[in-house]
Structure 1
Amino acid sequence: MRGKINRRTTRRVRVALSAAVVACAVTAVLPTAASADPAGATVDAGSSVERISVAADGTQGDDNSSGASITPDGRHVVFASSARNLTPDETTGGDKVFVRDQGTGQTQRMGHLTPLEPPVISGDGKYIAYPVQWMTGDRIRHYQVSTGRTITGNCSLFTCNQPSLSTDGRYTAHNSISYRQQTYGQRVQVEDSQTGTMATVATFDHTVQSRPFISGDGRYVAYQNGKTKDVFVWDRTDGSTSAPLEGPAKEATLVHLSDDGSKVVYLSGSDTYVHDVSTGTAQLVPNAKGVAIDPTGRHLLYAPNGTSGPSLVLRDLQTGADETVSDQPATAGPDAVSADGRDVTFHSTADDIVPGDTNGKSDVFVRHFS
């Protein structure tokens, strides 16, 4: 571990990790040493938590909310909810998509179609996307947050899902399957909304899907061959693809790509690996399930394996310091962490995370670290 830590880190609770785990990179294929299990973090005294799935007057949501993503600056949170009271004119039930603006305290409904997967938001907070059921297959709908209008409904010749947006919303990485020529199997593609062109990143002879992730500038796409359990990184600049990333189990499950394209998080066996794209090495986080990485690639959100202790923990990968995000049962997804780990969004049915939680439903929260 480092002999000196920054001011923010002094408020964190260190866990007993060997130097080989905290500071040393190991090869992505085979880690060099076993390490202590991550556990025991406590809520930072300088942190706070607020419920996001609320109406403008602070009234709690009257039905389940989940599947949240947050922008790098922490201002916008997009989530799915079947609540009927999050906006003044909302009366219908069923799953819908909402964007909460933390700056204005206002919640806005985006689109009128039922999301098939959790929605995603561009890094600048200007666009959101989510797949919906269409007559000929799944489609990805894009919406402009400022106006609420539909920008595009792509994949006219394919069934498409699992979108990932670049910072400005120009590029969308997604999975697609041709319904006209099924022999094509699955494709990982990137759509350029400015030029209307589609780049094919990978083609598979099967339909075992995994969600691809695109970097903020649209240069890198991390994706997985769901059949062989290999993770790859595609580089737009020259169209090259990395060698397979895999752990000692010779299998890998893609978790996330940092917004700056520097880190790829994947699971192998019971451990999490954070692969450094520039050096080709990977940092081991043992006995933990990686959930998301912050846009800078420094902070990892993970769920410790086991039944005791906190459900979600945020780790500073440079210092090894841990902070508890939730010590109650909670769930989060990719894009759940803002830049530098300042804010983390998650959902939980627990009724004691904030005062006055009486709806008995799943709510969306944001943990703020000072």
Structure 2
Amino acid sequence: MVEQKTAERMRVPVIAVTGHLGSGKTSLLNHLLREPGARIGVVINDFGELNVDAALVTGQVDQAAAISGGCLCCLPNAGGLDDALQQLSQPKLRLDAIIVEASGVADPVALARIIQFSDVGNVRLGGVVEVIDAVEHFRTVDTEPIPPSRYAVTTLAVIGKTDLLTAAEREAVSARIRDRIRERNPDVYTVTADYGRIDPQLVFDTVTEEDPLDQLPIAQLLREEAAQDHTGHQHASSVSREFAETVLPGALVDLLENPPAGAYRMKGRLRVRGPRQPRGYLVNVVGRSVQVERLREVPEAGELVVIGMDLATDAAAASLEALAAADGGSPDKEGLARLERHRRLSE
């Protein structure tokens, strides 16, 4: 895994978990919070005077912030959310990610924009996870001839509650949902997972498989209990490669903009060839969103990891090999300009 907890702390990814009322957002959040070693900050928004959803979150978190009294995207100037993100993104907390569980009436498009353009400088949008109730979806969310606009910002769609359908209905309904989502956004990554059991690797990174020393024992107990559930969850595949030499910026951008088949996330720190000396970059890809940050110090060696549920591992490995083998005879000014453009857009 790519080392993240260094003295040079990068921006904390903020993942929005959206979906209609009762779609299974809290079940997915609880599942993610059971990941060993994860240090997750959580913002829970409930439409109403009380945070009733907060009482349902049984996983163990390091820091939690709750916003009540309205939908996140309706708070004046998003001040409530910015305050929560400011609190949770403090470097001393060393969080792996912040998850925002939005109210069922929240507008995912507005919420994604609030996070992306937040005044909090040390956070970045880490994806929008749309949780879908396969049983009620076409009676509650997707009811018009044109697919809902919420799909436009979705990076990962989790289709759940298919266990409540008949065997004959499951694949047909799931396929219909996928087709409708891709009418609006062809690049959405979709998985089917009941009770929110997706592989946490699709959402965030952790650098240890053990609980931090300051975790409460209940976290481990909850995970041990979950491990006894034979239904479990599907595991994502990953392919990684170390890069001892610098890589060409143009070849890197080509890979970031056109990930291998089945890839949902890519992440890494790389030594990139510059006009006079190597430059260091941190890259993160979620769906088709490319984020690039400049590192103050050039790493001694680079590494890139590709993750996906249906990842074509041979093709992914070949793509990484091709990046390493790209001919670097002359300075790649055009490629560097493209990489720097992604960096500026990421800011």
TM-score range, shorter chain: under 0.3
Larger proportion of helix: 2
Please, what TM-score do these two structures have when normalized by structure 1?
Answer: 0.24
Larger proportion of strand: 1
Please, what TM-score do these two structures have when normalized by structure 2?
Answer: 0.25
